[in-house]
């Protein structure tokens, strides 16, 4: 165990954290996260370079005197404030100032709840965004509803009865035909793409690291310090931990930047991001990366130069690319026979079962069974990978095949 830890530390620190390529790539991705989080602010800044700073106040004139300052405060947010205008004689003057982009107001909202239908006009120099219009409409409709109930002299109980909303509950009568949570389809596609990139990037990192060690003869030193099995496990755990470190730094930085930039993080819930989905992603992505990392490491040990590495990685890369492409189709039909079968095939289950679980079509038993099969497969892969790794790490010269290595290992018994 100590030898595995020593190999892990060497891989994680010396070949990872201290490596210039890792530091530079992490800094670049961190910078991209900051730019992504501030994209809206940057666009606003670019658009406003040739203009005078605009006011962030919208004046509100209510001819029916239904709305007061307290009500308007519920409309205020970080970017726009609403202020009541009492004097009707100021309206035309304010409109002229808005048209010329001068004065204290960004826009003016004229209302009259006494008319049928209720009139609501927002005067601005140019159209701002649809969200503002929807926000104002929602506010006015609520005020109009409350105002109508006040005129009818309804009791508190009657008002509550009229304003109560119906929330339809889904009752599942057939477990195997669960309804797909379509709101999460975008999320599972993003997660699938994320896992696709993580496996290919860090899988290639593992195999190239093995070839690099063979090229500068570090492997011969390491092989005297630990058994091939210990070298393999320590190296894979080191790279996987390195991947986790980089991902946590990038995601944490992006979320922090979004929060500082004033982005409403609660919007993530609208695409299905939750503690359950994050936990499922960590489990399946972790197991998937470990599985493929052992395969990439074993294949990397069969060659002696970076020129031969791409051809050695091609079979497992093609398989994983096909898995990813098929998983995109399975996201749209998670209840199909193909999706159900691939949920239990170890090479595809990290993506497909993750998708089915987040889309709420996989049962708890299916998820546990899929994880169990995946863990068992990883154990088998570690056993055979260590056999390949043992022979491959000390092999120099022409590339040898996997079958030849396994046959030679069998004969040595």
DSSP string, 71-97: HHHTT--SS-EEEE---GGGHHHHHHH
Mean predicted confidence (pLDDT) in 373-383: 91
> For residue 119, is pLDDT > 70?
yes
pLDDT > 90 fraction of the chain, expressed in percent and rounded: 12
The per-residue pLDDT for range 209-222, each reduced to its tens digit, is 777 766 665 555 66
Domain segments of the chain: what residues?
57-161, 179-411
pLDDT given at position 53: 45
What are 240's strand-pairing partners? none
pLDDT given at position 99: 80
The per-residue pLDDT for range 311-333, each reduced to its tens digit, is 778 888 899 999 999 988 888 88
CATH of 57-161, one of 1.10.3470, 3.90.550, 3.40.50, 3.40.190: 3.40.190
Average confidence score pLDDT of the chain: 78
The tokens for 308 are 């031969």
pLDDT given at position 181: 57
Of the listed ranges 20-24, 256-260, 307-311, the least confidently predicted one is 307-311
Mean predicted confidence (pLDDT) in 352-376: 92
The per-residue pLDDT for range 241-282, each reduced to its tens digit, is 888 898 889 888 888 888 887 766 666 777 677 888 888 988
pLDDT given at position 183: 63
pLDDT given at position 287: 92
Give the separation between CA 355 and CA 268, rounded to whole angstroms: 17
The per-residue pLDDT for range 182-205, each reduced to its tens digit, is 567 888 888 889 889 888 888 888
pLDDT given at position 170: 47
> For residue 118, is pLDDT > 50?
yes
pTM listed for this prediction: 0.63
Give the separation between CA 183 and CA 33, rounded to whole angstroms: 25
pLDDT given at position 176: 47
The per-residue pLDDT for range 37-55, each reduced to its tens digit, is 777 677 766 655 444 445 5
Nearest to 203 by CA among 346, 319, 317: 317
Give the separation between CA 58 and CA 54, rounded to whole angstroms: 11
The per-residue pLDDT for range 138-157, each reduced to its tens digit, is 888 888 887 777 777 777 77
Nearest to 304 by CA among 178, 410, 214, 241: 214
Q: In what order do the strands lie in the sheet with 107-112?
A: 81-84, 57-62, 107-112, 119-124
> For residue 371, is pLDDT > 90?
yes
């Amino acid at each position: 165990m100590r030898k595995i830890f020593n190999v892990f530390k060497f891989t994680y620190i010396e070949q990872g954290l201290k490596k210039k390529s890792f530091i530079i790539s992490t800094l670049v991705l961190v910078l991209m996260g900051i730019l992504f989080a501030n994209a809206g602010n940057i666009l606003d800044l670019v658009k406003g370079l040739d203009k005078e700073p605009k006011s962030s106040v919208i004046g509100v004139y209510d001819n029916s005197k239904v709305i007061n300052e307290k009500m308007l405060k519920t409309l205020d947010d970080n970017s726009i404030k609403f202020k009541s205008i009492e004097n009707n004689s100021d309206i035309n003057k304010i409109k002229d100032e808005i048209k010329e982009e001068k004065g204290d107001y960004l826009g003016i909202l004229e209302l009259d709840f006494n008319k049928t239908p209720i009139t609501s006009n927002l005067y601005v120099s140019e159209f701002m965004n649809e969200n503002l219009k929807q926000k104002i409409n929602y506010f006015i409709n609520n005020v109009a509803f409350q105002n109508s109930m006040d005129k009818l002299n309804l009791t508190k109980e009657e008002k509550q009865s009229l304003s109560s909303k119906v929330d339809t509950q889904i009752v599942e009568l057939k477990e195997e035909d669960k309804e797909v949570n379509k709101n999460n389809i975008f999320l599972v596609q993003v997660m699938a793409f994320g896992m696709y990139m993580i496996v290919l990037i860090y899988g290639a990192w593992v195999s190239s690291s093995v070839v690099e060690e063979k090229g500068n003869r570090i492997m011969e030193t390491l092989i005297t310090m630990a058994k091939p099995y210990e070298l393999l496990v320590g190296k894979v755990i080191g790279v996987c931990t390195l991947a986790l470190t980089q991902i946590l730094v990038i995601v944490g930085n992006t979320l922090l930047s979004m929060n500082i930039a004033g982005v409403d993080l609660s919007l993530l819930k609208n695409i299905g991001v939750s503690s359950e989905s994050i936990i499922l992603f960590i489990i399946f992505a972790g197991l998937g990366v470990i599985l493929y990392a052992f395969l990439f490491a074993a294949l990397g040990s069969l060659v002696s130069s970076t020129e031969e590495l791409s051809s050695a990685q091609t079979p497992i890369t093609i398989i994983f690319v096909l898995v990813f492409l098929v998983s995109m189709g399975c996201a749209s039909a998670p209840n199909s026979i193909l999706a159900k079968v691939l949920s239990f095939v170890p090479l595809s289950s990290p993506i497909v079962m993750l998708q089915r679980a987040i889309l709420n079509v996989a049962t708890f038993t299916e998820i546990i069974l899929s994880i169990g099969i995946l863990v068992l497969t990883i154990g088998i892969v570690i056993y055979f990978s260590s056999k390949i790794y043992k022979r491959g790490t000390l092999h120099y010269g022409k590339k040898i095949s996997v079958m030849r290595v396994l046959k030679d290992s069998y004969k040595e018994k």
